[in-house]
Amino acid sequence: MSRFRAAFSLLLAAAWVTTPARAHAGEKETCLRTYVEGQAHRKDGKLVAAREALLVCARSVCPNEIRADCAGWLMEVEASLPTLVISATDEHGENLATAQITIDGVASASTLGKAVSVDPGEHVVRLQAAGKKEIEKRVVAVEGVKNQAVKLGYPLQTPNEPTFGPVPAPLVQRPTPTSFWILSAVAVASVAVATGFGASAVWGSPGYKSLEECRPRCAPDDVSAVDRKLRIADVALGIGVLSASAAVVLYLTRPSQTTNVGLAPFVVHF
């Protein structure tokens, strides 16, 4: 049916061109050309171009039949034609009043904050403000959606806000347990006792040196005293060795602890 209508419209327009007309011959050709172009662009989804063509063939200088078709199609195109409202902010979050806008590489006559008509589909919107780098954004215009917001913004800056230097990493330590120092003290004291009694057992009175002079007629009490000194020295030395060994094990197996050193020291830049 649409093909029959289009063919009928073309025949009507051709017949009208060959007959005397109120408008200039150039106007007739323009009406017919835009009538055909408007239908083609509309079919291809090029709604912006279709609207421009239909606006021409819907003028009063065109014949009633063509003007009526173009006016009807124009209303449908206007309803389907999406529009974008582009806005932008500077580094301080303030809205930019003026900037150069391009859509798909073509400069737009629209300004920031005002609706601009585009074809349905994906578009690349680029914005170039004076003294600033170009920024872009990809948007998808939805057919029939009006005033679709497109916001572009430059990275925000906070010049007066202090910035801190790098935060030091947590400090990992292996503190020495108190039991290590206790066992170490016991080991030192035990070795000292063993050394004292051992020296007394050899050079003291009585001692091995004095017993060598009285053998075999040494007094039993002197012999017992020397043996007692040796036993005390052996016990003290054993306690010292065990305490020292336990202290070494505790020191080598002590657990690690993590300490947060916070922000001090730190560097502040303004």
Ranges of H-type helices in the chain: 2-18, 25-43, 47-57, 64-80, 178-203, 208-214, 220-252
Q: What is 83-153's CATH number, 2.60.40.1120, 1.10.1670.40, 3.90.25.10, 1.20.59.10? A: 2.60.40.1120
| Residues in a beta bridge with 141 | 121
pLDDT band at 207; cut points 50, 70, 90? low
Q: Rounded to an integer, what is the distance from CA 261 to the centroid of its chain?
A: 26
Nearest 5°: phi and psi at 172?
A: -100, 125
CA distance 10 to 187: 117
- What pLDDT, in 10s, does the model give residues 98-128? 888 889 988 887 778 889 999 999 999 998 8
Sign of CA dihedral 94, 98, 99, 101: positive
Q: Among 116, 141, 136, 109, which residue's Cα sits nearest to residue 125?
A: 136
Q: Is residue 173 predicted with pLDDT exceeding 90?
A: no
- What pLDDT, in 10s, does the model give residues 33-83? 999 999 999 999 999 999 999 999 999 999 999 999 999 999 999 999 999
pLDDT value of residue 186: 87
Verify cis geometry, omega within 30 degrees of 0, for the bond prior to 206: yes
For the residues 187-192, what does the mean pLDDT come to?
87
Q: Is residue 7 predicted with pLDDT exceeding 90?
A: no
pLDDT band at 267; cut points 50, 70, 90? very low
Laid out side by side, the sheet with 135-141 consists of 106-107, 100-103, 121-128, 135-141
pLDDT value of residue 41: 95
For the residues 77-94, what does the mean pLDDT come to?
90
For the residues 115-144, what does the mean pLDDT come to?
90
- What pLDDT, in 10s, does the model give residues 222-252? 677 777 877 887 888 889 898 889 888 888 8
Break the chain into its structural domains and give their ranges: 2-80, 83-153, 171-259
More confident residue, 175 or 217: 175
pLDDT value of residue 270: 44
pLDDT value of residue 130: 81
